[in-house]
Structure 1
Amino acid sequence: MDSLLHPVGSQPPGVYWARRGAVVLAVVLVVAALAFVFRPQPEPVVTAQPASASVTPTATTPSAEPTDSASPSASPTPTGPLACDASNTDLALAGYQKVAQDGKQSFKVSITNRGDATCVLTLKQSTFSLTVVSGSDRIWTTDDCEKWVPTASEKLKAGAAYEFTIAWPVARSSTGCKTSTSVLGEGTYVANATFAEDAKARQVFVVTKAG
């Protein structure tokens, strides 16, 4: 027993104590390993899971295709009378059959509403023109002077006519309301009237020698 507490040998006592400690540590590690391997295994604990409610997919009614509730806009209905134009009027032109070189031709113009409803007549240089020609030679025209066309704006009932007169001095015209003093030659001339671009009328007459 005394040899255990006081090791005997040629080596210093510390060496023997280190050896003994290493042996003891080895024994402790082996015992601990065996205890860990052969320890009782705990029974596995099974936790009951709540029964999941069956999920029935809900059928979603597909939404109807978007519809445009607004119907295509219809053409606006005029709230007042239509304009008098080539589609609802007749244009007539009359004048002397013969006129002397030093005379004056009076053209009588008539615009008649041939439609079933009242129309609004707008008369001015931009809606009406009167031109006198001799063959391909343009002699005179209201396009050269705004004041040669009477102005008017009034309602024409169905079947009603608007009449006015335009005087031609038997002379040539030029821009700026100018007329020539030269005498026109004798011969056949044609007057062409136009209203609202498409309504047309003409008058053929003869210019005779001055009396």
Structure 2
Amino acid sequence: MAQKQVRSTRPSARVFRRRRLAVFISLLVVAGLLLWAGFGMASMLRPADPGATGTDPVAGGTSSTSPQPSQEPGTEPSDEATDCLEGDVVIGASTAQGTHGPAQNPVLVMTIKNEGKFDCKVNVGTSQQEFSVTSGSDRIFATSDCVQDPMDTEITIKPGSSETARFTWTRVRSAPGCKIVSAKPRPGWYGFTAKLGDLSSETAKFELK
């Protein structure tokens, strides 16, 4: 009887090369995925660009930073602001409009300006502010008559910059100690003077109809 020939089941050299190539390609793909994931994690952990700018919502709007005032030749900026010196701060008084109809309450505006050469601190709290209204020599109204829980509020003002405070006068009279005054101011011309501590503004004129 003729002997049956047994075929070898061992893969050929070509099959071995194909398998090795497939394994090599799989390893390259896995390495690429790991490298991509590493870059992704690095970008997530990288801090934000400190030079980026944006707006911060502040009370339904945005806050912005004003340009810093340039220093004059021969002057150097101080590391920390000190109290404003005499003559640095000037107080101004004005009204939102000059003439007010019978149903309009005057808005009194106090302006606090730093006319010095350096940043300085000033107390602008209710313990220092006073809005006063006069008619000739007649003292009509002053916020200091009825101020409650006076507070100190210290702010820093840059050279040439100013801050404003507003008060709406409801056309009433007042007296020291917050005594009740029944008389009402009549139509005519009035004067508004703003005070901050020992500093006082010039008197601004306005009219009540």
Q: 1:171 to 1:102 in 2, by over 3 A?
A: farther
Aligned-pair CA distance for 1:136: 1.1
Q: Take 1:167 and 1:199, find their aligned partners in 2: how far apart are those partners?
A: 19
Matches within 5 A, 1:48-67: none
Report the alpha carbon displacement of residue 86 of structure 1 after superposing the two structures with TM. 4.8
Shift of 1:82: 3.0
SS at match of 2:104: coil
Secondary structure in 1 matching 2:144: helix
**Residue identity matched to 1:183:** K
- What is the Cα deviation at residue 91 of structure 1? 1.4
Superposition RMSD on alpha carbons, in Å? 2.8
Q: TM-score, normalised by structure 2?
A: 0.54
Structure 1 residues 110, 198: CA separation in 2 closer, same or farther (over 3 Å shift)?
Answer: closer
1:162-177 equivalence runs, <5 A:
162-177=163-178
- Whether the aligned pair in 1 keeps the contact of 2:91 and 2:199 (CA below 8 Å) is no
Q: Residue 110 of structure 1 aligns to which amino acid in structure 2?
A: T
Kept in 2: contact 1:144–1:176 (CA 8 A): yes
Q: Work out whether residues 86 and 197 of structure 1, in 8 Å CA contact, stay in contact via their aligned partners in 2.
A: no
2-side partners of 1:183 and 1:85: how far apart?
A: 40
| Map of 1:183 onto structure 2 | 184
Please list, as runs of the form range in 1=range in 2, the aligned pairs for 1:140-179 lying within 5 A after superposition: 140-147=141-148, 152-177=153-178
- Ranges of 4+ aligned residues in structure 1 off by more than 6 Å: none
Flag structure 1 segments of 5+ consecutive residues without an equivalent.
1-77
Structure-2 residue corresponding to 1:204: 205
- 2:138 maps to what in 1? 137
Q: Is this contact kept in 1: 2:108–2:131, CA < 8 A?
A: no
Share of identical aligned residues, percent?
A: 21
User: Hey, what's the Cα distance between the residues in 2 that align with 1:138 and 1:148?
Assistant: 23
Contact 1:86/1:195 (CA < 8 Å) preserved in 2? Answer: no
C-alpha spacing 1:102/1:150, structure 2 compared with 1 (3 Å): farther
> 1:85·1:199 contact (CA, 8 Å) conserved in 2?
no
Question: How many pairs align?
Answer: 131
1:150–1:92 distance in 2 versus 1, CA, 3 Å: farther
Amino acid corresponding to residue 125 of structure 2 in structure 1 = K
Once residues 178 and 154 of structure 1 are traced to their aligned partners in structure 2, the CA distance between those partners, rounded to angstroms, is 32
2:88 aligned residue: 88
Shift of 1:102: 4.2
The one-character-per-residue Cα deviations of 1:143-173 (angstroms, maximum 9, x if unpaired) are: 1122598863211111221112111111101
